[in-house]
Amino acid sequence: MRDPPVDPSLSLYPGGPAPVPGTRYRLTELHSGLQLSMTVRTITPEELDWYVGLGDDDWLTEIIKGWWQGEGGQSAPDRCFVAEQEGKPVGRVFFYNLESSPRSQIMFGLHLNWETDWLTVGTNLLRRALAQMKTNGASSVEYRIYDIYQKPPELQRRVVEAAGFRLTQDKLRFVWKDQGSLVEVSNRLTFLTLADAGEPAFAEAVRRVTEQTLDRDDLARLAEVGPARAARDYVDILKDIEFRPDWWLLAYLPDGRLCGLVVPQRLDDKEGCINYIGVVPELRGSGYGLDLLLKGTAVLQAAGWKKVTAEIDADNKPLAAHMERAGFRHHGTLWCYRCDLVPASETSPKGS
């Protein structure tokens, strides 16, 4: 069993001696006042089944294996952390990344004993894991807490906040279920696929519809890297999820002006999703967002999906209104957290 090297700048012992790389630390003084000895280590490849079993989420095994084996190196055993006390596991968390952004890590699978010591164990597990991820070269870590999946969400939120994550956005999850009738789309707009329009035109349309967006995450990215780079990055992120150039649509008015775009995607065999939708600023206020939403849903329905989801910023009232109109229902809330391990200025030169 090996211990990860420790980044001394993220010591768990503020004011105390700096950790020595390679040392297995024992935590003897914690803010809860408990006397607790806890170690944090990464796992070996052979431990995967045991590791996944800690959280009763066996479906993760194949996903994690795929990340380990994929050419993109989306995850690895040295990004899977376990906290142990006297040899017994007391917590677990791991990290992966999208292929387009290897330094931006996504945290997943946080599992603690939510009956006892969860704040102490969780905070220290996360701090140690984050320190190691920084040493590995990660610049930031994102974590999403879904109230319908990650129980108990309020305790999860307290742990990640105590470990240094900040809330960037809360989102509403909307779900559409096929009721048997075909989704009807108005004929106000005509559509062109990305396959026909080309990726540069699509990225330029993303830039246009993202102007004055109501999505706080997109606003932050705009401020960080500028509109053109934010649009290209966004297209790359969407491509990582799934790339169907024949499904990504640009919408035009009869006079040929660009109106907006919609990106319907496959999430898995049962669930499709609308992952981006937008109207150019000068055409907002006429409900074209509803046309786009219905069109995206119709594409997924025609391809056989009976369930379509969309996650939207809780502040995006116009889109929420369209969701209800299009037959989507609010089911679930999620909180998006981020922890910057290095200053954003070191990773994202602002471009125009």
Binding span for ligand COA by CB under 6 A among 5-13, 191-199, 251-259, 274-282: 274-282
Distance CA 282, CA 259 (A): 9
Q: By CB under 6 A, is residue 306 in contact with ligand COA?
A: no
Q: By CB under 6 A, is residue 264 in contact with ligand COA?
A: no
From candidates 318, 332, 333, 338, binder to ligand COA by CB under 6 A:
318
From candidates 159, 279, 299, 326, binder to ligand COA by CB under 6 A:
279
Q: By CB under 6 A, is residue 317 in contact with ligand COA?
A: yes
Q: By CB under 6 A, is residue 316 in contact with ligand COA?
A: yes
Query: Nearest distance from residue 290's CB to ligand COA, in Å?
Result: 6
From candidates 289, 326, 334, 339, binder to ligand COA by CB under 6 A:
289
Q: How many residues belong to the site for ligand COA (CB under 6 A)?
A: 22
Pairing of strands 166-177, 329-340: antiparallel
From candidates 19, 264, 278, 327, binder to ligand COA by CB under 6 A:
278
SS3 labels along the chain? CCCCCCCHHHCCCCCCCCCCCCCCCCCCCCCCCCCCCCEEEECCHHHHHHHHHCCCCCCHHHHHHHHHHCCCCCCCHHHEEEEEECCEEEEEEEEEECCCCCCEEEEEEEEECCCCCHHHHHHHHHHHHHHHHHHCCCCEEEEEEECCCCCCHHHHHHHHHHCCCEEEEEEEEEEEECCCCCCCCCCCCEEEEHHHHCHHHHHHHHHHHHCCCCCHHHHHHHHHHCHHHHHHHHHHHHHHHCCCCCCCEEEECCCCCEEEEEEEEECCCCEEEEEEEEECHHHCCCCHHHHHHHHHHHHHHHCCCCEEEEEEECCCHHHHHHHHHCCCEEEEEEEEEEEECCCHHHCCCCCC
Binding span for ligand COA by CB under 6 A among 51-59, 99-107, 139-147, 310-318: 310-318
From candidates 239, 284, 306, 307, binder to ligand COA by CB under 6 A:
284
Distance CA 120, CA 12 (A): 12
Query: Nearest distance from residue 190's CB to ligand COA, in Å?
Result: 17
By beta-carbon proximity to ligand COA, the closer residue of 78 and 315 is: 315
Query: Nearest distance from residue 235's CB to ligand COA, in Å?
Result: 13
Q: By CB under 6 A, is residue 321 in contact with ligand COA?
A: yes
By beta-carbon proximity to ligand COA, the closer residue of 144 and 284 is: 284
By beta-carbon proximity to ligand COA, the closer residue of 43 and 290 is: 290
Handedness of CA 54, 57, 63, 65 (dihedral sign): positive
By beta-carbon proximity to ligand COA, the closer residue of 177 and 317 is: 317
Binding span for ligand COA by CB under 6 A among 178-186, 228-236, 272-280, 333-341: 272-280
Q: By CB under 6 A, is residue 323 in contact with ligand COA?
A: no
Q: By CB under 6 A, is residue 19 in contact with ligand COA?
A: no
The contact mask relative to ligand COA for 203-242 (x = CB under 6 A, - = no) is ------xx--xxx---------------------------
Q: Tell me the angle at which helices 118-135 and 153-162 cross, rounded to the nearest 10 degrees.
A: 50
Contact positions vs ligand COA (CB under 6 A):
209-210, 213-215, 276-279, 284-290, 316-319, 321-322
